[in-house]
Amino acid sequence: MALNRSQFLKMSYEQLDELFAKSPAGELPDGEGTGTAIVWPGTWCAKVWAWIARWFFWQGKVFDARRGRLINRVTAFGVRAIQATVAPGKSWFDGRECTVIDYSKTSLVARMVRDEIREVAPGLFLGKVFLWKKPSIHFCVSFQYEPAGRFWRRIMAGTTLALIAAAIYLAIRLNPRDLGTPVTYASDEDHFKYGSMGGEVEMGVPYVIWQTLPKMFADLLPGEGLQSLGFLYEKDENGRDKDLPIGVSKRRVQGIDRVFLNCAVCHVGTVRDTPEGARRIYVGMPSNNMDLEKFERFLFACVIDERFTADRVLAQMDHFGYREDALNRALLKFVAIDRMRSRTLLLRQRFLSFIDREPPTGPGRVDTFSPPKVLFNFPMGKLPEQEWIGTCDLPSIWNQRQREGMQLHWDGNNTSVEERNRSAAFGSGARPATLDRPAMKRTAGWLRDEAKPGPFPAGKIDVALAAKGQPLYARYCAECHGKSGTDFSGDYVGKVTDITQIGTDRHRLDSYTRDVAANQNLLYAAYPEERFSHFRKTNGYANQPLDGIWLRAPYLHNGSVPTLRDLLEPAVQRPKTFFRGYDVYDFTRAGFISNVAAEKGRPFFPYDTAVKGNGNAGHEDAADGSSPLPAPLRYGTSLPADEKDAIVEYLKTF
């Protein structure tokens, strides 16, 4: 029986060499020959390799004996590429005659290749490949009759290849284990305002839906657009609103652009000098516009609305001109919208379990420690009533380096800045498995050293009066609140004052419990150096440094006192009701103007100190003028009016 190519695959390497050695060079072949790569001959995988090579890489060679040239047929489609010269020559193997196929002069990619072939049977050439002059695999080129249908082979190979390529593409694009790619920003401040902390991976709203919702469900918003919830839009270079507000970040996960909140949504605020004046944005300042509760309720209302179906959302998306490619449209239609609904419904169930029991927070306030309770999925129905209300003011977050080691959060329940940051990042949807560590580190670093409070507008401080206030402040306040707006030294700065001494509303204190602290110990347990271990139950509120205090109005942990000057009055003389959310500043009393109920149809939040959790008592001297604090410290409410004025004036320099 004559040799054929499939027999080569069963022979050993040595046998092939032997066969090659004893065969004549033969005629120069001519025409199209079918190629077979012979890798690891004699083993079971030779067949597999030959098959793979044939189908995907190399189908054979086309010889032109007259011109002494050949060209290979490569890839699944038999593309003619990679030329070589063909000429009789001496073999590098045994020095005898053979036909040499040389790529070195004709091909760039295959220049290190030299093939030698000899005719081992009529129309069947066995070849040896030399790479960089070293013998490598064998191959054969057959001009024997090959019954396989070349056309169907190409179709099938092509289809298989296309399917594999598509599968690889989809596997990469839809990989559920991939954390995606965030939109990044050159400046740290922009990163703070718009950079992603990773929350989009789990909580992200598809960008096109985010843009569609306020238009589609305009009736569920209190006013025009997301602005009516307190979101702040900066202008782009063309003077138009940017597409996303401050505090909303974007990340492409599984090929879909998704957005969610970041730190800046709660920690960027605005000030106007006059109602007609320009609105100045202060980064790191507690948000005085954002009504997170209303935003949550808006999202919740959307997903339980009958209009929230994939088809309707997609139709509205088209109507308002938000485009996605076909694959993403399919994903939105069949997966993403449904998933957004189920995720949001879960949040809805859990969040309503506490926000429905609490008085409305209004802008600039949030319940900080009920979210961890629902994150742990505590059975909230069994929560004792004293824990129900945890509403507190959003804090400023500048100058963090100087706060390291202080008791952070209003009740001072944590002394680690990093841990506090990771805890707050839960609010941006970032879980231990999805937190974007480098992004977090960048923001944390910026907050630590770069973020500073903006100064009180020059010319609006009575320098002489402030100078009078300085010694008063030093005497009465500095031990608890730091020497100045930049020097935070003082025996009690960053430490907790017992609730019996501070006397402020205790709801926020009681909302945080040892139960929460215990469970927080399990957070980030998969990453030992990040595991939470600093949370403690305290029994009071922490004394804070007063850097940029003018921007931190209204005052006290629950934002129950509109201005600094009011804070220096005994509780009974502080405003019992006022409005929050108006950003025009009262430069005399230091705080926002709080008697304006609405502006251009936008109502502000009526704050009633009689409501549970909103109490404005405390941080005051006793009625007889004595102070519960160690002498000479005092809260200052019993000082003469001119001294109070002087202290407030001095605080404006912070």
Q: If binding is defined by CB under 8 A, does position 184 make contact with other proteins?
A: no
Provide, rounded to whole angstroms, the least separation between the CB of residue 434 and other proteins: 7
Q: Given the rule CB under 8 A, which of 115-123, 237-245, 522-530, 544-552 is the region that contacts other proteins?
A: 522-530
Residue from 515, 530, 586, 643 in contact with other proteins (CB under 8 A): 515
Residues in region 31-70 near other proteins by CB under 8 A: 43-44
Residue from 191, 420, 534, 552 in contact with other proteins (CB under 8 A): 534
Provide, rounded to whole angstroms, the least separation between the CB of residue 511 and other proteins: 12
Residues in region 15-34 near other proteins by CB under 8 A: none
3-state secondary structure of 239: coil
Provide, rounded to whole angstroms, the least separation between the CB of residue 414 and other proteins: 10
Residue from 66, 105, 382, 600 in contact with other proteins (CB under 8 A): 382
DSSP 449-479: II--PPPPPTTSS-HHHHHHHHHHHHHHTHH
3-state secondary structure of 38: strand
Going by C-alpha positions, the residue among 9, 20, 109 that lies closest to residue 57 is: 109
Q: If binding is defined by CB under 8 A, does position 336 make contact with other proteins?
A: no
Provide, rounded to whole angstroms, the least separation between the CB of residue 424 and other proteins: 17
In angstroms, the CA 6 to CA 353 distance is 73
Would you give the binding string for other proteins spanning residues 185-204, x where CB under 8 A is met?
-----------------x--
Q: If binding is defined by CB under 8 A, does position 171 make contact with other proteins?
A: no
Contacts 24+ apart (CB under 8 A), 416-419: 416/534, 417/444, 417/448, 418/444, 418/530, 419/532, 419/533, 419/534, 419/535
Provide, rounded to whole angstroms, the least separation between the CB of residue 513 and other proteins: 8
Q: If binding is defined by CB under 8 A, does position 373 make contact with other proteins?
A: yes
Q: If binding is defined by CB under 8 A, does position 235 make contact with other proteins?
A: no
CA distances from 132 to 34, 36, 109, 113 (A): 25, 21, 13, 7
Q: If binding is defined by CB under 8 A, does position 533 make contact with other proteins?
A: yes
Tell me whether residue 309 or residue 519 sits nearer to other proteins (CB atom): 519
How are the residues of the chain apportioned to helix, strand and coil, as percentages rounded to the nearest 5?
Answer: 35, 20, 45
Two structure tokens written together for 245? 């507000």
Q: If binding is defined by CB under 8 A, does position 537 make contact with other proteins?
A: yes
Sign of CA dihedral 541, 440, 271, 613: negative
What residue spans of 400-504 are helical by DSSP H? 417-425, 437-445, 463-476, 478-481, 499-502
Provide, rounded to whole angstroms, the least separation between the CB of residue 638 and other proteins: 28
Would you give the binding string for other proteins spanning residues 404-443, x where CB under 8 A is met?
---------------------------xxxx---------
Are 495 and 609 contacting, i.e. CB atoms less than 8 angstroms apart?
A: no
- Residue count of the chain, please give it: 654
Provide, rounded to whole angstroms, the least separation between the CB of residue 498 and other proteins: 9
Give the pairing type, strands 79-90 and 69-74: antiparallel
Two structure tokens written together for 119? 């005719």
Q: If binding is defined by CB under 8 A, does position 251 make contact with other proteins?
A: no
The binding site for other proteins (CB under 8 A) comprises 43-44, 177, 202, 373, 375-380, 382-384, 431-434, 513-519, 521-522, 525-526, 531, 533-537, 539
